[in-house]
Structure formats: C-alpha cells, structure tokens
Amino acid sequence: MMEEPLYPIAVLIDELKNDDIQLRLNSIRRLSTIARALGEERTRKELIPFLSENNDDDDEVLLAMAEELGLFIPYVGGVEHAHVLLPPLETLCTVEETCVRDKAVESLCRIGSQMKESDLVDHFIPLVKRLAAGEWFTARVSACGLFHIAYPSAPDALKSELRAIYRQLCQDDMPMVRRSAASNLGKFAATVEPSYLKTDVMTMFEDLTQDDQDSVRLLAVEGCAALGKLLEPQDCVAHVLPVIVNFSQVCKSLFVSAPYTVQDKSWRVRYMVANQLYELCEAVGPEPTRADLVPAYVRLLRDNEAEVRIAAAGKVTKFSRILSPELAIQHILPCVKDLSSDSSQHVRSALASVIMGMAPVLGKDATIEQLLPIFLSLLKDEFPDVRLNIISKLDQVNEVIGIDLLSQSLLPAIVELAEDRHWRVRLAIIEYIPLLASQLGVGFFDDKLGALCMQWLQDKVHSIRDAAANNVKRLAEEFGPEWAMQHIVPQVLEMMNNPHYLYRMTILNAVSLLAPVLGSEITCSKLLPVVITASKDRVPNIRFNVAKVLQSIAPIVDQTVTEKTIRPCLAELSEDPDVDVRFFAIQALQSIDNAMVS
Amino acid sequence: MNGGGGGGEVSGVGAPSATPLDWKFSQVFGERAAGEEVQEVDIISAIEFDKSGDHLATGDRGGRVVLFERTDTKDHGTSRRDLERTDHPVSRHPEFCYKTEFQSHEPEVTLVNSYGDYMVVLLLVYEADAFSQTYICCIDDESGSLFSVQFDYLKSLEIEEKINKIRWCQTANGALFLLSTNDKTIKFWKVQKKKVKKIGEMNMDTTKVAGNGSIASSSCSKPHLANGGFTDKLSSSLNDDLLFPPGGIPSLHLPVVTSNEISHLARCRRVYAHAHDYHINSISNNSDGETFISADDLRINLWNLEISSQSFNIVDVKPQNMEDLTEVITSAEFHPSHCNTLAYSSSKGSIRLIDLRQSALCDSHAKMFEEQEAPASRSFFTEIIASISDIKFARDGRYILSRDYMTLKVDCLIRLVMGRQYGFKPCCNLSGPRAFKTQGETLRLDVYNLPDFTCQLRLVGKTIDYCSHDLGFAKCALLFQLCDLYENDSIFDKFECCLSGDGQRVATGSYSNLFRVFGCAPGSSEATTLEASKNPMRRQVPTPSRPSRSLSSMTRVIRRGSESPGVDSNGNSFDFTTKLLHLAWHPSENSIACAAANSLYMYYA
C-alpha cells in the first residue's frame, strides 16, 4: 500500500486505465501532475511510451491527451528533450476523428516552434515526411498542417523535397487531403522563399483552383487573399487576379465561353470569392482594383444566386472603403440601389446591416441624395430583420446626416417593430432602445418611446418583460436618476398593483435592477416601501422574490435602514409557511450578516 | 472501363462480355430450415458492399446491421489491394464470413413536428388527470407562451427500427465507417477492432481487499471521489511544487496493460436527426468524402458528415397545398465522381439530374428525363407501375440504371454539347424505341474536348430496355395480374437494382425469390434468371428469341383469361409472398449478394 501523501497520485495513475471514461479523462487532464510525480526521466522513458500505446481510447480522452501533450515540454526536461513528445502526437495525427487530429497538429506546431533547429531536422521533419507518406488519408491530412513549422529550418536539399511532397499532397487521390493542402497553403507559402513562391507555390495554387472537387477549389479561393499579400503586387496581378476574376463570372452559356479560362459554375465558389474579394484589393493595388476587381465585384452583386448576392452585399461597405468615393458612387451605388429592392429578403437584410457604413465613405451630399432614399425604403421593408438591421446601426448615419432627417421615418418603423407579433422581433428592438434614446435625445424619447417601454413591461412573453426591465435600467443610466424619478419610477411602481403575479414579479425584477442606478436615497424613499408591501403578497413566488430583492438592495442602502426595515421584513419571511420563501429569506439574512461582519 | 482498379479480373478487355456468365452458388447466411417460420425482425431490408468489396453490410427490419468480411484474400486491411491480387490466384471467388453485428436503430414513438398549430417543445410529458390522459407541453412560437395540450396519439408517429439504407464511408486506420438510416434518423457508425484490455500491476494493489484485480481501481477510488476529499487534496498538492522530489517518486509505476483478445466494437459517432418530416428512402455519399444527402418523399437534404446539428435543404418538391401533390421522390443518388451532380427519381417515372453548383436550392433541375407513354396504353395502373423504385449510377458515372415495377432501364448521361445543360436523354427519343430494343445499338455522339471538360459529364449512350417479360411477368395476363397485385399491395413493392463494377451487366430482383442478370454491353443478349437458393439455375429459362413488343400491342393480341394469373409465359408460377427486393453486386468481381427474407445468398460467376 502507498504512503498517505502518494495515495491520490497513485489513484490518478491507475485511473489512466479505468473503465469509466470520466475518470480516465480526469487523469489525462492531470497528466502534468503525474509527470511531475514520476520525474522527468521516468516521464520520458515510461509515461510518454505508455501514452503512445494508448491510442485506441475514446475520442474525448485522445483530444484531452493531444491538448495536454502540447504543453508538456517542461515535464520531459525542457526543449532539448522535446522530441520525445513527437511519437505520441504522431499517432494522434492519424486517428479518424478530425478534432483530435487538429488538436494534435496544433500541439505539434506548438512544440515544433520551440524545438532547436537541429532537433527539427532530426526528428520533426522525418515525422512530417512519414505522415505525408501515410497509408491512410488521415495521416496525410495532418501532414499538411505541419509544413510551415518544418520548412524554415530545413537545409536546402530537404526544402526542395518538402516542396515536392507538398505538391504531391495537393494532387492526392483523397479530396480530404487536397482540402487540407488547400487550406494550409497560405501558412506554408508564408515560409517559402520568394523565388520559389512564384514558381512552386503558384503552381500548387493553380492546381488547386482547377480541382475537380468544388470543395477544394473553395478552400483554394479562401486562401487567395493571404497568398496575394505574400506576393509582389505585380505578381499578384499576374497570377492570383485572373483566377479570382474568372471565378467571379457565371458561366452563362457555353457559346461564349472563351477557351482555357476557368469559369466556375459553382455558386459556392463565387460565394467565397464575394467574401474574399475586398482583401485582394489591398494586395493588388488601386489600378488593378479599378480595372478588374470592381467589375468582378459588380458582377457578384448582380449574381443570379441569392447566396452570392448575400455575401457580396455584406461586403459593400468594406469594399467601398477601399475605393475612391467617385468609384463607389459610380459603380457600387447603382448596385446597392438594386439590392435594396432585391427579391430575397436575406439579401436586403445583409445589405441593411452594412449599408450604414457607406455614409462616411460617400460623404454628406451623396449620402443625403443617394443613400437616404435607400435607408428609408429599407426602413419600411416588410421583413422585420431588414428594419432591425438599419436601426441597429443608426449611430453611424447620425454622424453624417443627423437624426432630424431620419426621425420622421424612424418612429413609425420603431413603433411597428415594437408591436410586432413575433416576440423575437420585439426582443431585438428593445435591445436597441438605449442606443436610440442616446441618439434621439430626451425630448424625442419622452414624447414617443416612453410609453412603449412601459408597455413592454406588461408583455405576454417572459423574455420581453425581462428585457424590458433591463431596458428601464439602462435608460436610467443614460438619462440619470432625476429623469428616471420623473419618467420611470412612478409608472413602474404603479404596475405593482397588477392583478397577475407574473407582472408583479417583473416589477420586482425592475426594482432590483434600478436600485443600484438610482442610489440610496431614492431606493429608500420610493422603491423599498413597495418591496416591503410586496412581502405580504398572497403568492409565495412574489414573497421569495422579495427576499431576493431585499438581499440585493441591502448593500446599497444605509445600515440603519437595513436594520430597521429590511431585517424585520426578512425575519418575518423566514417564518413563512412556504418552504421556498423561508429558504430565500434565510439566505438573504445570512448574506446581510456576512456583509456586516466584513 | 476503369472500375477504380478493380475491374481487371471481371470480364477484361479480351473477354467478350457477350458470353453469358455461369452463375454458381457461393454461400448462404441465415438459411431457413424446412418449415421454419421467418421472424419479421430478421427480414433483410438493406444490402451494401463497401468500395473495396472486402466488406458487406446488411440491415434488417429489427434495426440491426450485420457486417461480413471477405476471407478469401488474406491480410485484408493491412496490405494494399493490388498486392493481394498478385498474391492470390484469380480463380478464387469472394467468400465472406460473419464479422460482427450491432443494433443500429431502436423503435420509438415521436411527436410530429407541428402539433396542430403549435411548435412542440417537448419539455415534459405527464399523465395528469383521473382519466390518465397524457399532456404535453407546447410553445406557441408566435407569442412565446407556454401551455399544455392533451397528447393525441394520432399526432404522434411510431418510427420503425427497420434499416432502409446502408452506405459505406471512407475507411480510415483500419476502422470501418458506415451510415445507416431508418425512416427518420441517420446514424454514422464506426466499427473497429478493439483490444480487450487486461490491466495488471496497479499502484493500488487492492487484490487483497477486493479479491479481484480488474475492478480494484474503481473500487478503491470511488469512495474518495464521492466525498470530494480526494480531489480537494489533489488540487492542493498540485500547487505545491515541493511535494515531488526532482527525480520523481520511484515507488509509483504506470499500469501495465496486457491484451491478447481482439473484439469488434461498433460505436455510433453521430446521429443526424429531426431533418425529415417524411420517410427517408435513400442516403448517398458524395465523392468529396465530407458530405452526403438524405432523401425523403418530398425533400432532399445535404449534410456534412462531421456536423449533425444542421443540414441544408437542396430539393423541396412539397407543393403549397398538399392536395396538389402529384409526384414524390422515390430515390436519390450522388454521381460517383462528380461532386456536384446528383440524380433523383420520382413516382411518375422520371429521373432528374441536378447540378449543385447552379443554385443553393436545386428545385429547378438541370435536366429531366421522362418517358412519355402513348395515351392509348394508359390504364389505372400506368402511374403506379411507372414509379421508379431504385436508381444506381454505374461506377464510371456514365450510365444510370433505374428500376420501375415492370422494367429495368439503363440510360446514359448525355452531355448536350451545344446546349448549356446536360442530362438524360432517352435514346429511344433519338432513334426510335424499337430499333434500340432489338438491336441494342450504341449511340455515339462526338465529344468535344472543351477546356472545362473535367467538370462535365461525358456522353456516349446506350439504352437497354428490357421488356417486362424479362422481369418475370406474363404480359398477356398483365392487366389481370396488376389487379391482383394491386389488391394485395404487391404492386407497391420496391425492387432494387444493381450494376456490375465494370458496368457490363445489371441485375434486379423479382418474385418467387428470383433475380435476373442482364448483359448491357453492345450486342449482348444475356439474360439469366436465377433463384435465391442453393441451386440458382433451377429456374433458368431460355432467353426469349422473339423481339419484345410493347405492352399495348400485347394486351390487344392476347385474349382475356387465356392464361391464369401468376404464371409467366414459360408456365412458371410466381409466388408473390416471396420477393427478392434487395441485392448488391460486388464492386470489382462478378459476385452478387441478395436477400431472400432473412437469408443472405451469395453467387459468383
């Protein structure tokens, strides 16, 4: 039997092989403890080989193991022994579960980036080569993610071998491997010397962009911006740009298809191009942007697939920012106009969420003349999401044209959303009320929106009432306690007389939220009496919520008030016939006592 | 024809495919003894070979999946297939042995998606009142209010455990992966060899206490975890670096694991559920190795194998008003190599080809092939028997095989060179049906070598249309027979079909546990009838020499009642209670696995 202090650690070690997965998982999570108990040498000689054999465990355990091993260098005796960690991670790189492999690759990269150059050549690079030649695709998939660590420290001969291997992986039989090669190409390319970048890496990129599998081309396109930034602008224009521009075109008819151009029929590839295009602008510089990318982008904005238009519309602002105002007004704005009346509500919604950002780009005149009509039409959109997206970005447009111009159309839109029959829409608009209040100012708010805020406190749906209570608090923060005393507190407290206990509960919630904002004085004079009265409520749910509220109010108010008013009330509740009321009352009393002691 | 490196030994380039194959019995699993009752749950409902042909899976009505492994090639799984081929003489035919089985699906009762007008969020089901009525909790999604309604059994759905389809996925690390589905839920299974672990040499040698080493660990650790003292003590010791001497504690040692036995373990990795309102009729993997589709009567959904929480609807044929429904999806399959092409068949006998690249929602198909029946030959049954029960792509993706109640068709995917769409073109429309049926001509159009050729489907075409006779029906008595078949619901039987790996032959099942193999190479008149029994050639009938005639002309010529129903033109009677619905062709060799009730028969040639 173990001596007493070793007992827990011994159990931990034994449980590495327990039948219960939770216990195994627990042990793996404490692997560093086990390692320290065994010492560095035995960790290297026993624990690590032991873990290497432990590769048929459940995925959860393997995932945890992959993660722990990434942080294990200190426990095996520092960087000079880091290579002993490679074998177990190599096995984990070959398992079928993607998340385990990804984690193992991540850990290998972490270890590899700390290893000495000679160790990398002796241990890490052979590992990458083994994985890349693995019999199962899983190993080859993992290999792709390790090249950017292995490559920089390799001697020249080995470097060209590694490039050749990567090229091979880009042409693997398995689409999974090609996908991995495509998504890791950018990282690898960043480590490759510029001279090989133009030759070797670009050939790989071109191979991948012509792959049979849509999913491979998709990932190749996704990485094109990263690749473009590595290249000199003129190379980027020569190699990356044509590929992307051609991807952006829809193959309308085979009659017009010029030979030897790649035109992608897949909307998913165009979707990806639409998402990536603005990043490429930075890489190629202004002139090619104007000549090639703007027309390409306009094509995407007018694509016949709604999904592509959604992606393109979502980038309108980012793209416009790169362009000069004239170009944006000339080319992009007409498309934006069309999109604002697009047949797909999702396109309009995507446009509405970013269109506000165009205002600073276009300047005041163009905004009022061209953009404002679009705002207004979107604000009247039949689809609530579109209206919500416009309202959520109101501050941006306010900066440019001021709220006066908008407020006329704004109010009907807000009121309509506030009374929308879908509660999720109502919930969304409540979130924006404090923002609106700050933009519109006290006067406007008092007139138009105050009543709505009170109305939400009595909504049928709990989530709305909850949000409304929070909203009241945020308004009080925005406009200050004095304003709140006048415009919120009386109305809110009035609702405490509602016959339905659920509404009374909402008010209690609002009170507990308001108290810290309004300060001790108002709390004592206005809020506390109402809460104390509620402690006599016939519904137990109200009473135990009173106990909770009192607990939260106690730290705010004066100690004398606590002693005089709160404590007696809680004492009474602690003898309530209902068990829950007693529980919360006692809890509140204890918390008050603790606060006093400290 | 390149069958993925496996086509070599089938009927190679030299061997004339016109020579009919000589089928021999190979194996039977689950053979019934004379007079033995077939248990409903044991009836096989799905058969599928994996891509290499080294494994075979069957699913049954009891929700079980049984795996078989090829035994005539040694060292399967560890060495590459081409190595195996050189090691073993070609004369061997595939032999399989039972590998393992697992319970894939269980029967369940579920609520249909919408409960009246409300969305059911099944928070609790409780039996409340004195009449022991069951209530369920619902949320009105519009107002968000919560209420309970009385449970209505009619609005609930009993989901059978029956396995509708099995599809193999990419093998990795020697573990097998497959998808199995019942009417509603698809599951992703991993079957791997697992060492049976035996643990010795624990730190906590509690053999004396517990008397059994294997449970020692749990028995001694549990009390410590239960009262929380153990973990607390550990975490406090964790922070204390001085606890462990620099050299470690020598008395501690790692558990030693010994294992000698190996067992197969099936684990359900993912469950793809709640995406189908109607019954799933097919699942199919994409060639990209990361996605698959599932099709029910009205919709086709696209899934990523790694993500079970969401799927994308790519085809939706549900009309606004269900009364307008005239056509349902009966089967769907991905193209074997073009990741963006899939085909689905309908109850009206049409096959639609769709291109996933064109649009996110592919309701507007790229091309449809529908055979127009002459109005004169229409009858009450025309539409019912036109319903396609199964479609299969040939391995090279150039042909598609479809089976409706009476016929088996091979169609070619034709790229219409001058148009922007491609799709099926029934050859009969190009050169007249009779010419085709009798002469079996090959239609060949020129292939233009376009730069985007790789993304396109090749053309080359050929259609073989087998007359209904070949499927085992007496055409003369067809109408009477159809009445009978309708009465006993047999007319709704869904027969599957399959192609050989080299695409030279096709097979499909019939009644009386018969199945038929046809040659579809140019000029081939091969048509073999086999019975799923140990003596497959028992029912062999000579291939009819007369040219087939169309259905309408036959019914006109033959007088009513001239032959009794259930007897084909060769005088063989048919047993409609024994039907061979499911069969599969080995991907690289001439070997067929077929299911007769609960028995799995295998044949080779």
A137 Cα to chain B: minimum distance (Å): 7
Is B452's CB within 8 Å of A461's CB? no
Is the Cβ of B253 closer than 8 Å to some Cβ of chain A?
yes
User: What distances in angstroms separate CA B199 from CA A10, B210, B257, B306, B593, one per listed residue?
Assistant: 15, 15, 5, 34, 42
Q: How far apart are CA B561 and CA A273, in angstroms?
A: 68
* pLDDT score of B136: 65
State chain A's maximal CA–CA distance in angstroms.
Answer: 91
The answer to whether B288 and B171 are in contact (CB under 8 A) is: no
Contacts by B538-546, CB closer than 8 A, 24 or more apart:
B539/B512, B539/B514, B539/B572, B541/B570, B541/B572, B544/B469, B544/B470, B544/B569
Is A14's CB within 8 Å of B252's CB? no
Of B243, B252, B340, the CB nearest to A266: B340
The pLDDT of B62-71, averaged and rounded, is: 93
From chain B, pick out residues whose CB is under 8 angstroms from the CB of A94.
173
Q: How confident is the model at residue B558 (pLDDT cuts 50, 70, 90)?
A: very low
* pLDDT score of B600: 93
Is the Cβ of B553 closer than 8 Å to some Cβ of chain A?
no
Q: How far apart are CA A240 and CA A276, in angstroms?
A: 12
B112 Cα to chain A: minimum distance (Å): 23
Q: How far apart are CA A417 and CA A421, in angstroms?
A: 9
| DSSP summary character for residue B583 | E
Residue type, B24: K
Which helix (DSSP H) or strand (DSSP E) does residue A284 occupy?
helix A267-284
* pLDDT score of B154: 59
* pLDDT score of B374: 52
The answer to whether B545 and B473 are in contact (CB under 8 A) is: no
Place of tokens 């080989």: A49
Is the Cβ of B218 closer than 8 Å to some Cβ of chain A?
yes
Is B245's CB within 8 Å of A39's CB? yes
pLDDT at B369 over 70: no
A259 Cα to chain B: minimum distance (Å): 6
Q: How confident is the model at residue B384 (pLDDT cuts 50, 70, 90)?
A: confident
* pLDDT score of B207: 45
From chain A, pick out residues whose CB is under 8 angstroms from the CB of B190.
96
Closest residue, chain B, to A35 (C-alpha): B248
From chain B, pick out residues whose CB is under 8 angstroms from the CB of A8.
224, 230, 233-234, 237
* pLDDT score of A598: 67
- Structure tokens that stand for A242 in this block: 């044509």
Helix (H, G, I), strand (E, B) or coil at A547: helix
Chain B residues 151-170 with CB within 8 Å of chain A: 170
Is B356's CB within 8 Å of A214's CB? yes
Of B142, B289, B357, the CB nearest to A176: B289
Is the Cβ of B559 closer than 8 Å to some Cβ of chain A?
no
Lowest mean pLDDT among A254-268, A518-532, B484-498, B543-557: B543-557
Is A9's CB within 8 Å of B337's CB? no
* pLDDT score of B414: 53
Of A37, A176, A253, the CB nearest to B252: A37
Lowest mean pLDDT among B350-364, B387-401, B591-605: B350-364
Is the Cβ of B572 closer than 8 Å to some Cβ of chain A?
no
The pLDDT of B53-76, averaged and rounded, is: 86
Is the Cβ of A30 closer than 8 Å to some Cβ of chain B?
yes
Is B203's CB within 8 Å of A30's CB? no
Of A13, A269, A460, the CB nearest to B203: A13
Residues of chain A falling short of pLDDT 70 = 1-5, 248-264, 400-401, 403, 598
Of B145, B225, B288, the CB nearest to A461: B145
* pLDDT score of A258: 30
Q: How far apart are CA B61 and CA B54, in angstroms?
A: 24
pLDDT at B155 over 70: no
Is the Cβ of B205 closer than 8 Å to some Cβ of chain A?
yes
* pLDDT score of A249: 61
Of A37, A138, A254, the CB nearest to B248: A37
* pLDDT score of B416: 28
Dihedral of the alpha carbons of B365, B366, B369, B370, in degrees to the nearest 10: 40
Is the Cβ of B173 closer than 8 Å to some Cβ of chain A?
yes
| Range with top average pLDDT, A343-357, B73-87, B293-307, B431-445 | B293-307
Of B246, B251, B257, the CB nearest to A17: B257
Is the Cβ of A576 closer than 8 Å to some Cβ of chain B?
no
Of A94, A136, A176, the CB nearest to B290: A176
A264 Cα to chain B: minimum distance (Å): 9
Is A254's CB within 8 Å of B220's CB? no
Which helix (DSSP H) or strand (DSSP E) does residue B292 occupy?
strand B291-295
A301 Cα to chain B: minimum distance (Å): 15
Residue type, A437: A
Instruction: Tell me the per-residue pLDDT of B210-257, one tens digit each, with 9 for 90 and over.
Output: 334 333 343 333 334 333 334 444 444 444 444 566 667 777 777 777
| B312 class by beta-carbon count within 10 Å (0-12 exposed, 13-18 middle, 19+ buried) | middle
Instruction: Tell me the per-residue pLDDT of B426-455, one tens digit each, with 9 for 90 and over.
Output: 322 222 222 222 222 222 222 222 222 222
Is the Cβ of B252 closer than 8 Å to some Cβ of chain A?
yes
pTM metric for this prediction: 0.76
* pLDDT score of A96: 87
* Half-sphere exposure (Cβ direction) of B174: Cα atoms closer than 13 Å: 11
| Range with top average pLDDT, A158-162, A266-270, B523-527, B568-572 | A158-162
- Structure tokens that stand for B489 in this block: 């619901």
Closest residue, chain A, to B202 (C-alpha): A14
User: What distances in angstroms separate CA A201 from CA A145, A215, A221, A279, A290, one per listed residue?
Assistant: 15, 20, 14, 20, 27
Is the Cβ of B177 closer than 8 Å to some Cβ of chain A?
yes
Instruction: Tell me the per-residue pLDDT of B255-291, one tens digit each, with 9 for 90 and over.
Output: 777 766 778 889 899 999 888 888 999 999 999 889 9
Is the Cβ of A136 closer than 8 Å to some Cβ of chain B?
yes
Is the Cβ of A13 closer than 8 Å to some Cβ of chain B?
yes
Chain B residues 384-443 with CB within 8 Å of chain A: 418-420
